Amino acid sequence: MKRVKELYPDAEPVNGFIFFDALRAPVRITGLPWIKTNGNYRRLDDRYFDEYPEGLKMLTDCTSGAQISFKTDSKRVAVRVDGIFNHRTCLPHMADNGAMGIDMYVGSGVDKHFCAVFHAQPGNTERYNGERDLPCSGKVDVTLNLPLYAGIRKLELGLDADALIDDPEPFAIPKPVLFYGSSITQGACACRPGMSYANILGRMFDFEVINLGFSGCAKGEELIAHLIASLDLSAFVYDYDHNAASCEELAATHEPFFRIVRDAHPDLPVIIVSKADMLYGEEKTLMRRDIIKKTYDDAKASGDDNVRFVDGTKIYGDYGAENCTADGCHPNDFGFRLMAEAIAPALKEALGV
């Protein structure tokens, strides 16, 4: 471990903190698979930026699933955020803490516990700062979950000037799990970033989350399938039911997208999920579920033993959308917990843990 003041000898302490740019610091940044080539916090590969649909160009800035982790004995953690906020982040049915905030967990492995939230102040959403005490002493792993519906131009971390900093403990699952899907996958309407179902599962099993949920804009594009196929993953959770405009569009894109990923990775565990709510009515919801299940059935019929299906219509059980969603569609925190618990058995089996 190294002392912060030794790593940044020219930095002037501010209120006892030394601040440093997270992108250029001895911290672990995960959930951004193209960060080395991009040099920024975007979720997709910038080399193909001009080929993305307009909605994806905007939403790739959102940092859903991205985390910054480090080990420290600092008594406090501070952040200074220069954010990217646009009209899609103005979600009247979603808490600002979830859309734009950063939440902090302490602990390592599957023993991470919520600690605090850094949130944008009203009227000053593009730049915000804050400091929070760490509720423990000695060396501890700290994890910051970045915003679900906003981007980051620059994020500075602040630690006590005499604090130590080092790499966090490695993940228990050595390769990432990737989630592809709709606004629900991206995290609407979690009250804070750590409560999206992907992030809950990441803590449950201790793996790196790559969240490629795109609000209204994950439509099974071949380019995105090829980008996913280029990555080395532990598992792939495939969940974009809601973004297909019709049953016909879903049928035309769902299995071809899966086949691109499967052809590149014959042994990759794939968990196929249908939507949990009945927003389109029960008949259409069941039709969509059956289209999605056909991708699974066809894979199984071809001898594919690395594919699993989670029937979304069973996720909320007797609680229903009235108890599990913010608006009949997007889960609240309880809904996200139920989603994570429904997917966990398939993921546990897929990961062999």
Phi and psi torsions of 36, nearest 5° = -70, -35
Model confidence at 108, in pLDDT bands (50, 70, 90)? Answer: very high
* Interval 9-27 mean pLDDT: 96
* Interval 165-193 mean pLDDT: 97
Percent of the chain with pLDDT over 70: 97
Structure tokens, 253: 């894109």
Q: What is the pLDDT of residue 245?
A: 92
CB 202 within 8 A of CB 211: no
Which CA distances in Å does 182 have to 46, 217, 273?
21, 7, 12
Q: What is the pLDDT of residue 96?
A: 86
Instruction: Assess whether pLDDT exceeds 60 at residue 214.
Output: yes
Instruction: Assess whether pLDDT exceeds 80 at residue 123.
Output: no
* Interval 77-102 mean pLDDT: 83
Q: What is the pLDDT of residue 137?
A: 86
Q: What is the pLDDT of residue 92?
A: 81
More confident site: 271 or 135: 271
Question: Is 124 exposed, middle or buried (CB count within 10 Å of its CB: 0-12, 13-18, 19+)?
Answer: exposed
pTM tops 0.95, yes or no: yes
Structure tokens, 86: 């646009």
Domains and CATH numbers, the chain: 2-166 (2.60.120.260), 177-351 (3.40.50.1110)
Instruction: Assess whether pLDDT exceeds 90 at residue 25.
Output: yes
* Interval 280-290 mean pLDDT: 93
* Interval 126-151 mean pLDDT: 93
Instruction: Assess whether pLDDT exceeds 90 at residue 122.
Output: no
Model confidence at 281, in pLDDT bands (50, 70, 90)? Answer: confident
Model confidence at 119, in pLDDT bands (50, 70, 90)? Answer: confident
pLDDT digits (tens, 9 = 90+) for 318-353: 999 999 999 999 999 999 999 999 999 999 999 999
Cis amide linkage into residue 189, ω under 30° from 0: yes
Q: What is the pLDDT of residue 67?
A: 98
* Interval 222-248 mean pLDDT: 96
pLDDT digits (tens, 9 = 90+) for 29-48: 999 999 999 999 999 999 99
Q: What is the DSSP letter of 87?
A: G
Measured CA angle at 6 (ends 5, 10), to 5 deg = 65
Instruction: Assess whether pLDDT exceeds 70 at residue 315.
Output: yes
Q: What is the pLDDT of residue 86?
A: 66
CB 4 within 8 A of CB 165: yes
